Amino acid sequence: MIESIYISGVATFGSDAETLEGLSQFNYIFGANGTGKTTISRIIANEEEYSNCSMNWRGGAKLQPLVYNRDFVEKNFEQSTELKGIFTLGEKNVETIKKIDETKREIGELNKKIENLSNNLQGEDGTGGKKGELVSLEEEFKSKCWKQKQKHDENFKGAFEGYRNSSENFKNKILQESDSNKATLKDLDDLEKKAETVFGPTPTLEPSIPAIEGDAILAHESNLILKKRVIGKDDVDIAAMIKKLGNSDWVRAGITYYEENDMICPFCQKPTNEAFAQSLNEFFDETFEADTKVIDDLFTNYKTDSERLRQQLDSIITNPSKFLDVEKLKAEKDLLDSKVSSNIQRLELKKKEPSQVVELESLSNIISKIKDLIASANVSIAEHNEVVENIKKERHDLTAQVWKYLLEIELKDDLVDYKRRKNDLSEAIDSMEKKIAQVKAEKRKKEIELRELEKQTTSIQPTIDGINSILSSFGFQGFSIAKSDDHRFSR
């Protein structure tokens, strides 16, 4: 049955398509002359001749149209130019009629098969059946893919470039990557961290952090002078007394006042002799002075080296690299400053009292931690600079790794289920379409047979024989009917 007719660009119909829809088994079309009634009947009779027009048959099963209109009359009831008012119709053969009826029945059964298969394939309205299930599957999987795009879009805009504005394109990209992606699977944290550099604004090279000079100050900690009791000469006559009293540092401090006070003792205020002055000078001999100088130099160098180290750290903290853990470095520097101040106080004591044994607080662990912080930052800087140098390749590799993560972590189960279901539906659809094509081909053969049978029913020879038999029975011997040259009528 015809469900709708689309007409455009023929006879009185313009280029904008007109539609006859909602048609039932019986339809009545009426209108004034020239409104297109005959045109509609012609389209029904020979749809193939009207390229801009089409008809929709229920279930996709096209029936053989039989149209009785002016064209049919002209083709089948053409009036003889030789015998005005005479029309000739053929006599139908009984056997041929039976074959025609059987062929029409078979064509009807084939139409029902086509309709049933079409309904299973795409439903009565063209949106159901197996094709409808496939459409629903595609929409379902597309939605799952798009949800992942929205979830990771903020971090992976660069990887999704070109697919961020179309859920259909994004889904197709997922399917494409599932067949070709050979990237290494990475953790999400690693991908997000790398994306900040690779997909962010075009990065620039970062300078490395200079190494700190910590070896010099650490070397001072093992200076032997720190544990040496620096006192005067043992064989001087006053040495025994000074050692007994343990006041060499006190005596040495008083020498300056003794010399400035014209050799009068700065403590008891009594005059002394040359022998006493000589004993003092001999007690604090060249060895003593040399050791004292070592202590003075150690004090000066420690202050210089520690100040240089602190200035280096201050410079690093003031202009920190984005790859450096500045807060940890500040904490280590505060601890360093505290220990350096304590050590300077101990060196001041050693300088004032050379006979004292002094031990400096070691800076080894602190300096080691600071070096580790700087080394770690420099490793990250080197990696960053390598990325900058190879940004194009890095972006390509990271993009592939992002899609790999979606395939293997986020959508793995969904992808397996989608491909399995799609394969099953595609096989079913392909089988149905092939079956419909086979049935349609069989129907076309039957329609050809039907046309040939119908041609046989239009023969006028039986009519000629019948009339001549009647004429003969009435005694007409010199008159008979013969077939015309064009075989369409007799004469």
**Per-residue pLDDT tens over the stretch 305-352:** 999 999 999 999 999 999 999 999 999 999 999 999 999 999 998 888
Kindly state the helix (H) or strand (E) to which residue 54 belongs, with its residue range. strand 54-57
What integer is the mean pLDDT of 263-275? 62
Pick the more confident residue, 378 or 251.
378
> What does the pLDDT read at residue 376?
94
User: Which pLDDT tens digit goes with each residue over 403-423?
Assistant: 999 999 999 999 999 999 999
Reply yes or no on whether the pLDDT at 216 is more than 70.
Answer: yes
- pLDDT over 60 at 293, yes or no: yes
Q: Name 407's Cβ contacts closer than 8 Å, sequence gap at least 6.
A: 174, 177, 178, 181, 415
484's tokens: 């015309």
Least confident of 262-276, 337-351, 389-403: 262-276
Choose between 263 and 68: higher pLDDT: 68
Q: What is the CA radius of gyration of the chain?
A: 56
pLDDT band at 237, cuts 50/70/90? very low
Choose among 55, 46, 63, 48: nearest CA to 446.
63
Judged by DSSP in three states, 211 sits in coil
Instruction: Tell me the pTM.
Output: 0.45
**Residue 346: CB atoms within 10 Å:** 17
Q: Where are the domains of the chain?
A: 1-76, 97-180+411-444, 215-232+285-389
324-330 own/partner pairs: CB under 8 Å, 24+ apart? 324/209, 324/373, 324/374, 324/377, 325/373, 325/376, 325/377, 328/373, 329/370, 329/373, 329/374
CB of 96 closer than 8 Å to CB of 456: yes
Among 5-9, 33-37, 56-60, 475-479, the range with the most confident prediction by mean pLDDT is 5-9
In this prediction, what percent of the chain has a pLDDT beyond 90?
49
Mean pLDDT for the chain overall:
83
